A and B are shown apart, each in its own frame.
Chain A
Amino acid sequence: MIRVTNLRVSYGTSRGGREVLHGIDLHVPRGQLVGLLGPNGSGKTTLIKALAGLLPAASGRIEIAGADIAKLSHRERALRLSCVMQHVEAPAGFSVRELVLMGRFAHTGMLAGYGPADHAAAEAALKDARALDLAERQAAELSGGEIQRVLLARALAQGRELLLLDEAVSALDMARRVEAYDLLATLNKGGSTVLSALHDLNLAALYCPRLVFLKAGRIALDGPTAEIFTETNLKDLYETDIRVAAHPVTGAPQAHLVPGASAAALG
């Protein structure tokens, strides 16, 4: 579904720019649910933006469902993948329903407006994202958690083939996070490919069978969660003492911080 070959991305002009991703190779087959992890500044958001076509590749190649995204139009790209970014503020004057309906833009022709099929898709998306109760509210008046649910609904309305998420649940409380990832898991079972960048190691380990760790613009680790989510790997990546123990219910590995570890590391 996603095939990234030797991707380099820079911010700023081509000459004086700062390279943030230094040659990423990544393959995500159709139907996977992948967690993208890494410390702050490791390039998670940049990679998601490049995959979504918001940032041009300085070199390398990104293929989505077999098509080079540099050659796709905005509309064609929007039909292949939907994306939820972090820190999105809803503009004033739009209802939640209107905002979710905008997810259908790429599906409509230039002359035709949003048709019955689009309204139905928006309705289904609102329902799946547990945002139906917000439908008539003003989007600008929602809380941070509510707006994330609405944006997820909009992404679902846009398409469910490939979902890219960047810290899409960080503003949600614990119960809502679980709800959101349960939804992602359900979607994944239904055939959606999901690549989700997140900070929460344990949430990633609970839900994602495969994890990709970025560090300083390179892929540090990539593999099945059970194999790579180990104390040694996490210590190296995050440069602090981390203990891993099994989840009491599912048995998935869970990371635990150790107080005073940073002082000891500096020691």
Chain B
Amino acid sequence: MTGKARDSRAPGRILRANTLWPQSLWIGIICAASLASAVIACGLGSFPSPPAETLRALVHALGQAIGLHMGQPVDPALSVVVVDIRLARVALAWLTGASLATAGCVFQGVLRNPLADAFTLGVSGGAAFGASVAIIFGLAGGAAISGLGGSTGILPLFALAGALLALAAVLALGRAGSGSMGNMRRETLVLAGIVVSTFLSALISLLKSLDEESVASIVFWIMGSFQGRGFEHVRLALPYMAVGLGLVLWRARELDLLALGEGQARLLGLDAGRSRLWLLIGASLLSGAAVAVSGVIGFVGLVVPHLLRMVIGAGHRTLLPASAGLGGLLLLWSDVLARSILPGGAELPVGVVTALIGGPFFCLLLGRNSQGGA
């Protein structure tokens, strides 16, 4: 008893200001910021687009979408750039960021491991491998990557299967040492993720060597990018993302219980095994769909939930939607940087941008966490 006793009169350190900032307010702010960012991002790029013209193009497109005549038609080239290219990329980047951050949040919650994420667990690598297999064996050609052609549906399915297989392999490896899923040692799990990721990237290299002609198409998957993506990709990924998001949001309270540990969760009436299975399937759907349309993008799933936990707490009913919103926001702006930071309309892979932003930021978070003893 004495070992555990702390001074019960010490005032609790206020970690977060959730009493001043109701949690729903955070979600409201993130939503508003996302909308504003979307409009601003549609006005940024190498093609000249004055704000007024950009707004007119957006309003006109919105009008067409809902079947009303709103605003005057604009220059068709500008309209294509603002709506078909930029707005589509904004939407896809936001959805992908939201999916990756939500999936990261779920992986961290289910495995009770702050380092878990689609990227570190090898789930993204698995999805990329699945996509590579589909490309190499001609199930999805270059045409399919650009979202057209008959076999488009095949690619996300392969990416998803790859994601699930990689996850199963990592969990089996991590479990071999430590029994139950919620009690795996953090290091074991991350090491298992590294092993599986390395193995998969070797397999991808093997596929590339076997068929050098597909190298360009495969590299396309490994380096995350939104270049050349359009609304067809949004349509392709949205069903998977919606189902995945619905699944995990629906079970947000179960994540809270799982955070207590398996025994506590079961005492409170949760079938922990079944809950974990569904949550992991949901998170894999989200990451698989994200990789299927954007390639491998790191750090979003790791940094966003971490940051938000420090600010709004660990309750997943708020944390999950907030992670989705902030993840979307982060990737939206990362993509704007990726497509506009180089002169002459040249592009950076967006994965490079998120790694450059996320890497140092994550180090900062780790430093703060170890200082705070949390």
A interface with B by C-beta (< 8 Å):
52-54, 73-75, 77-79, 82-83, 85, 88, 90-95, 98, 102-103, 105-106, 108, 110-111, 113-114, 136-138, 140-146, 158, 170-171
Chain B residues with CB under 8 Å of A138's CB are 12-13, 15
Residue among A93, A113, A143, A146 having the largest count of chain B Cβ atoms under 10 Å: A93
Given A91-B260, A137-B12, residue A105 in contact with residue B270 (CB < 8 A): yes
| Closest B residue to A95 using CB positions | B313
Instruction: Name the distance in Å between B125's Cβ and chain A's nearest Cβ.
Output: 29
26 residue pairs A–B, Cβ–Cβ below 8 Å = A52-B267, A74-B269, A74-B271, A85-B263, A85-B264, A88-B260, A88-B264, A91-B259, A93-B313, A93-B314, A94-B314, A94-B315, A98-B256, A98-B315, A105-B253, A105-B257, A106-B269, A114-B253, A138-B12, A138-B15, A141-B12, A144-B1, A145-B8, A146-B8, A158-B269, A171-B4
Establish whether residues B271 and A78, one from each chain, have CB atoms under 8 Å apart when the complex forms. Answer: no
Q: Are A171 and B266 in contact (CB under 8 A)?
A: no
The residue of chain B having its C-beta at the shortest distance from the C-beta of A77 within the complex is: B269
The answer to whether A171 and B268 touch across the interface, beta carbons within 8 angstroms, is no
Given A54-B263, A94-B259, A138-B15, A74–B1 Cβ distance below 8 Å? no
The reply to whether the CB of B199 lies closer than 8 angstroms to some CB of chain A is no
Asked if A91 and B270 make an inter-chain contact with CB atoms under 8 angstroms apart, the answer reads no
Query: Are A143 and B15 touching (Cβ within 8 A)?
Result: no
Q: Does B7 contact A (CB under 8 A)?
A: yes
**Which residues of the partner chain A approach B4 to less than 8 Å between Cβ atoms?**
143-144, 171
By the criterion CB–CB under 8 Å, are B315 and A79 in contact? no
Query: Are A143 and B12 in contact, CB atoms less than 8 angstroms apart?
Result: no
- Within the complex, what minimum Cβ distance (angstroms) separates B318 from chain A? 10
**B18 an interface residue at 8 Å Cβ cutoff?**
yes
Complex CA–CA separation, A138 to B309 (angstroms): 13
Footprint of A on B, CB under 8 Å?
A: 1, 4-8, 12-13, 15, 18-19, 112, 250, 253, 256-257, 259-261, 263-264, 266-272, 309, 313-315, 317, 374
With A75-B269, A110-B250: A143-B374 Cβ-Cβ less than 8 Å: no
Least CB distance from B267 to A in Å reads: 5
How long is the Cα–Cα vector from A210 to B213 in the complex, in angstroms? Answer: 81
Please report the number of residue pairs spanning A and B whose Cβ atoms sit closer than 8 angstroms: 97
B370 to chain A, nearest CB (A): 13
Q: Which of B7, B13, B313 contacts A143 (CB 8 A)?
A: B7
Q: Shortest CB–CB separation between residue B80 and chain A, in angstroms?
A: 42
Q: Are A105 and B260 in contact (CB under 8 A)?
A: no
Chain B residue at smallest Cβ distance from A114: B253
Q: Are A54 and B268 in contact (CB under 8 A)?
A: no
| Set of chain B residues within 8 Å of A145, measured between Cβ atoms | 5, 8
Give the residue name and chain of the A residue nearest to B254 (CB): A105
A124 CB to closest chain B CB (Å) equals 18
A4 to chain B, nearest CB (A): 18
Q: Which residues of B contact A74 (CB under 8 A)?
A: 266, 269-272
CB distance from A10 to the nearest CB of B (A): 16
CA distance A90 to B261 in the complex (A): 9
Distance between Cα atoms of A140 and B373 in the complex (Å)? 11
Give 10 closest A-B pairs by Cβ, nearest first.
Answer: A93-B314, A78-B269, A106-B269, A144-B4, A143-B6, A143-B8, A137-B12, A75-B269, A91-B259, A74-B271
Task: Identify which of B12, B19, B261, B309 contacts A93 (C-beta below 8 A).
Answer: B309
A79, B268: Cα distance in complex, Å: 9
Q: Across the interface, do B313 and A158 meet the contact criterion of CB distance under 8 Å?
A: no
B13 proximity list for chain A (CB < 8 A): 138, 141
Q: Is A143 a contact of B5 with CB atoms below 8 Å?
A: yes
Chain A residues closer than 8 Å to B263, beta-carbon distance = 54, 85
Residue from B12, B256, B266, B271 with most neighbouring chain A CB atoms (10 Å): B12
The answer to whether A102 and B257 touch (CB under 8 A), given A54-B266, A143-B5, A171-B1, is yes
Nearest CB in chain B: distance from A73 CB, A: 7
List 10 extra interface pairs beyond A85-B267, A93-B309, A142-B12, CB under 8 A: A53-B266, A78-B268, A85-B263, A88-B260, A91-B112, A102-B257, A105-B257, A137-B12, A142-B8, A145-B8
